[in-house]
A = this chain, B = another copy of it.
């Protein structure tokens, strides 16, 4: 009979969804989450001006978005002091990671990343037929020097680094990132995932240099800006690289209200600052709760805290399941030795009250 003739890449692929969503977990467990602290969303929400903009423009949803994303690209460019030709809008950073793989990765080509780093990046590498070579973390940090060494040795197409890091929350100072950029092999593109830059210490983020075509900076409105559901990310890079995204992107792929929301969001920096403060307070409380339970919170430049439970991955899984049963949604890194930790997003006071009450119970049951 008839049959689909999938591409070679697709035929050889083991399909695994990068993450199970909280809604699926709720459906499976029958427990509705009271504290949604697993996906590093911003429980504090976006600016009230953003919400107003969405409501005011809701009746315009019958119109396609502007496929050039002109307004949004221009406010982003102005914000960063670059040209709009240095900015492309993507359906979250995830969308951008998919596109850069399609631009660069041919079958069997090599990409270097860290073992336990963002799995959605690896998903997109695999979907293009590429091979991820994974470098172990050095303690709680991605290991810049070994990543560089591997990229050189294997003539990697890309080197992926997130700074600050997900899932550990750690960061490298700008000087280390600049060292990485300086010593990048001539053929290797740096995919610098800066999803968490808005909550990072100022000294962690190097100045943007759009003259270097080999460095791509990925940013998002999903984290501190509180717009995860809008699906707006962007890439900043040298103009000829940005223009290449037009070869593969879904030109009409961005939601019209999401664009309007993102413009309103970037224009309300006061709100962003206030949220970053709230996130810092929340991180501090997660650290306090961790200490009170004999656990070690890892210093974080993100909107979450990786908490070292001082045992193995099986123990962490038990704790995750225990918290889920109390309606507290958190996640954990996927591989050893990072999976001795659980990852708790910044939460509201109510969220963390619930964490504070439930964590000791869950820990004692897990032993």
Contacts and interface: CB of A to CB of B under 8 A. Distances in A.
B250 A92 contact: yes
Contact of A244 (B15, B65, B68, B255): B15
The copy count of this chain in the complex is: 2
Given A23-B68, A253-B95, A229 B60 contact: yes
Interface string A35-47: 0100101111110
A206 interface: no
A3 B258 contact: no
A367 interface: no
Contacts of A51: 58-59, 61
Nearest to A23: B66
Contacts of A61: 45-46, 50-51, 54, 226-230, 261
A104 B43 contact: no
B54 A257 contact: yes
A228 B66 CA distance: 11
Interface of A: 1-8, 10, 13, 15, 17-19, 21, 23-24, 27, 36, 39, 41-46, 50-51, 54-55, 58-68, 70, 91-92, 94-95, 98, 102-106, 120, 127, 157, 184, 186-187, 189, 212-214, 222, 226-231, 241, 243-244, 246-248, 250-258, 261
